[in-house]
Chains A and B, each alone.
Chain A
Amino acid sequence: MWVTEINTIVDSVKTVAQTGAKQDTGWIMHHVLDSRTLDLPFIEIQLPQIHLFGIDLSITKHLVFMWVSLIVLISFFIHISKTYKKSLVPHGATNLSEILIIFVRDEIAKPTIGKGYEKFLPYLLTSFFFILTCNFIGLIPYGSTATSNISVTATLATISFVVIQVGGMMKNGFFGYFKGLVPHGMPVWLLPIMIPVELLGLFTKPFALAIRLFANMTAGHIVILSLLGLIFILHTYVVVPVSVSFALFIYLLEILVALLQAYIFTMLSSLFIGMAVHQEH
């Protein structure tokens, strides 16, 4: 019964193996990478190109979706903060946001930073909710993940880096911070190794933050697109149930990964802030 379909699959695989025929997979990259056009149902909008002072400041798809995430966040939280005027007991959406904010405060900020965590809480909350919103908007059809762009994640990691260094320097003093990088009571002959290692560690930790977020977001999308693309490469309907069910499973996994990566970015940022501010530990 399935003989014709199986023959089609086998023929297609044989063709690719023998002639090395390049399948057209450019559409996978088109969906994952940044582009100058916005794809909406039935319309394709060309976004304006702006060149200022020799720098390319044109508006791209990821930038538009970062603005969408910005508008969603600002309107949601201004609405939430207004409900506190009526009563201190939260209902509805306020309840949900209170759960998340208390989660960030009690599970992420307090255990890792300890005393003086209030100063860093606005930054941690901002980064958590921004990354969460960007990740979720990427899962909606026709949406695109802003955090799957290495520039966006590198910027977020750079801001974390600045917050870590400034926080550490304001608490321990400019030179005291660098002195405190190397653990106390070290034998002198270890210092030539420890100092470059610690200085390098200052830069590799935010770099890892950027790469982790970028790679997690991009990899999920590429896997889903590749699984669904199998249907088109093999030119048959037989693989549809297998392909679609695997793609659905990976899609659910991606929802979990979106939440997890926002949590991990914020948790590691706050861990590094805690290590920079309280250098005795």
Chain B
Amino acid sequence: MDLAHLAAGFGAALTVIGGAFGIGKLASSAMEASGRQPEAAGDIRTSMIIAAALIEGISLFALVICILLALK
């Protein structure tokens, strides 16, 4: 039994919860804004993709640490 592997599993799961929650909120407000003003849909889509990549970058930091733990 190796606690490092267990910790890696928990860490990855928590990270995914946080990242998915953040990106979900982001996508929902982007959809709402596009619905209100369809002319701005292109700009909103660009900003949404940039923000999603930044949030995903953070969750991938934690994922890298989990991989380091699992490989110990």
Contacts and interface: CB of A to CB of B under 8 A. Distances in A.
A264 B53 contact: yes
Nearest to B42: A107
B3 interface: no
B49 A211 contact: no
A64 interface: no
A267 B46 CA distance: 11
Contacts of B61: 208, 211, 215
Interface residues of B, number: 13
Chain B at the A interface: SS class: helix
B64 interface: yes
A172 B49 CA distance: 31
B46 A219 contact: no
B17 interface: no
A20 B60 contact: no
What is the size category of the interface that chain A forms with chain B? 10 to 19
A267 B63 contact: no
A211 B53 contact: no
Interface of A: 20, 29, 107, 208, 211-212, 214-216, 218-219, 260-261, 263-264, 267-268
Given A215-B57, A260-B53, A264-B50, 15 more contacts: A107-B46, A208-B61, A211-B57, A211-B64, A212-B56, A212-B57, A212-B60, A215-B60, A215-B61, A216-B56, A218-B67, A261-B53, A264-B53, A267-B50, A268-B50
